[in-house]
Amino acid sequence: MKRTELARMIDHTVLGPSATREAVVKLCREAIELNAASACVDGCHARLVAEKLQGTDVKVCIVIGFPHGMAATAAKACEARTAIEDGADELDMVINVAALKEGDTEAVIEDIRTICKVAKAAPRPVLVKAILETARLTDEEKVAGARLAKEAGADFVKTSTGFGPSGATVEDVALLRSTVGPEMGVKAAGGIRDYETAIAMIDAGATRIGASRSIDILSGAESDEEPPASGTS
């Protein structure tokens, strides 16, 4: 895959307590240089990232209910509204994993639907990605979560936060893709550190990759430059 094509599928990411202002500014600079799909950060950095990315094609992606998804739905909605006001173009929300495991489908779908409603009320298009944290789920729960995310109106279903027991797997990406069909996005995230792994996820059905090691991933991609013509002049 060409480097530019792959870069446009990557959410370049820095999250958690190590995400200092300096680290976030560096992330934005790299995201612009790579022409990544987005720069993905915690909500406290939304305004900073929106400022740094202004005038570029790189979107502002903000996590909601991160990393456990156990905040009240109203709190997630407030977080989402604030993120949008601060410049977010995309919201990566963690679903209520416990409710899904308990079979409380009403709670799960209302949680996701509420964030989707906040996004739809925004003055500009805002995407919602529902994070399932697949490492904590059985295959049956993964399928159920993906179906609920689709029914609730999410634009993507996402494998992992990167803070769970493990990250994305090819098998989980393929399962999510077969569940939601071709019209919904699938984001693979967590543990994707090289080109080969990223391509395996894409081949399995991922349309977006979440990664902090984007530069390493793209180092294995094909150059966008045309090879020199063969033969003599």
The CATH number of the domain holding residue 124 is 3.20.20.70
In a domain, 230, yes or no: no
Q: Which candidate in 76, 142, 150, 187 is catalytic?
A: 187
Paired sense of beta strands 59-64 and 156-158, if any: unpaired
Does residue 231 surpass a pLDDT of 70? Answer: no
Question: Is the whole model's pTM more than 0.85, yes or no?
Answer: yes
Query: Over the stretch 188-218, which tens digit does the pLDDT of each residue have?
Result: 999 999 999 999 999 999 999 999 999 999 9
Does residue 187 carry a catalytic annotation?
Answer: yes
Which residues does 117 contact at the CB level (< 8 Å), separation at least 6?
A: 153
Query: What is the Cα–Cα distance from 220 to 151, expressed in whole angstroms?
Result: 37
Helix (H) or strand (E) holding 172: helix 170-180
In a domain, 15, yes or no: no
Query: What is the Cα–Cα distance from 28 to 100, expressed in whole angstroms?
Result: 34
Q: Which candidate in 92, 111, 155, 172 is catalytic?
A: 92
In a domain, 233, yes or no: no
Query: Over the stretch 47-89, which tens digit does the pLDDT of each residue have?
Result: 999 999 999 999 999 999 999 999 999 999 999 999 999 999 9
Q: What is the pLDDT of residue 224?
A: 76
Partners of residue 60 on adjacent β-strands: 39
Which residues does 152 contact at the CB level (< 8 Å), separation at least 6?
A: 109, 110, 112, 113, 116, 130
- Domain tally, the chain: 1
In a domain, 225, yes or no: no
Print the domain residue range for 158: 60-218
Average pLDDT, the chain: 95
Q: Which candidate in 52, 155, 158, 172 is catalytic?
A: 158
